Amino acid sequence: MALKLITAPAVEPLTLAEAKLHLRVTGSDEDALITSLIVAARRMAEQRSGRALCDQTWELALDAFPAGAIELPRPPVSSIASIKYLDAAGADQTLAADQYALDNYGGQHWALPAQDVAWPGTLAAANAVKVRFVAGYGAAAAVPADIKAWLLLAIGTLYAQRETVVADQAVELPGGFWQSLLDPYRVIGF
C-alpha cells in the first residue's frame, strides 16, 4: 500500500495577511519567509492530524482489491476521481463511477463497491489498484477554526525561533495546551 500526492492544494488554509496580522508584521520584507512558514505549518498539521486541510488530490495504490471497503487516508474525502486497476490479463481498466461509492459520513472514509457489485479480479502485481481521490475541507474558509488557531501558533513559533539551536540548546515546538488543538482531528489508524 502506497500513498502519493498528485495535486497539492491550490490555496493555503491561511492567507499571508492573516499570518502577518497574527505576527504583528506590517511591512513586506519578510513576506516570502512568512509564506513559507504557512506552508510548513500546514504540512505539520496534516502530518500530525493525518488529515488534508485544503483540497488536494491523492492516489492510493494497492496490490489487489480487498474483500470489502477500501479505507481512504487523509480525510475528509470529498470525491473519488477514479478507480483504475490491472485486470487479470494485465490490461489497464477504469471502473465506471456507478460501480463504486464513497462513504464519507464518519471519521473514516471508504471506497465501497456499489450495491450488488464485487470488486474485479486483478493481476498479481504491485500497485495493481489505484484509487485517486480529492481530500480536504475545500476552501480555506471551511478549515475548522481550532486548526487555524494551531496553524497561527505554529507559524508564530517558527517565526520567533528561526534557528534549531540557540545557545547550544535545541529548540523544539513547545508542547502544552495549544498542541491539543489538533487532537479532535487526529486520524487513528492509517
What pLDDT, in 10s, does the model give residues 151-181?
Answer: 999 999 889 887 665 566 655 655 565 566 6
Q: Match domain 17-47+141-185 to its CATH number in 1.10.8, 1.10.3230, 3.30.70, 2.115.10.
A: 1.10.3230
In 3D space, the residue among 132, 118, 181, 122 whose CA is nearest the CA of residue 2 turns out to be: 132
Pinpoint the alpha helices (H) of the chain. 16-23, 31-49, 145-160
pLDDT given at position 162: 76
pTM of the model: 0.85
Q: Is 146 exposed, middle or buried (0-12, 13-18, 19+ CB in 10 A)?
A: middle
What pLDDT, in 10s, does the model give residues 132-151?
Answer: 999 999 999 999 999 999 99
In 3D space, the residue among 49, 15, 51 whose CA is nearest the CA of residue 179 turns out to be: 49
CA distance readout (Å), 137 to 21, 53, 57, 86, 114: 23, 6, 12, 31, 25
Q: How far is CA 182 from the centre of its chain?
A: 14
Q: Is 155 exposed, middle or buried (0-12, 13-18, 19+ CB in 10 A)?
A: buried
d(CA 51, CA 45): 8
What pLDDT, in 10s, does the model give residues 60-118?
Answer: 999 999 999 999 999 999 999 999 999 999 999 999 999 999 999 988 899 999 999 99
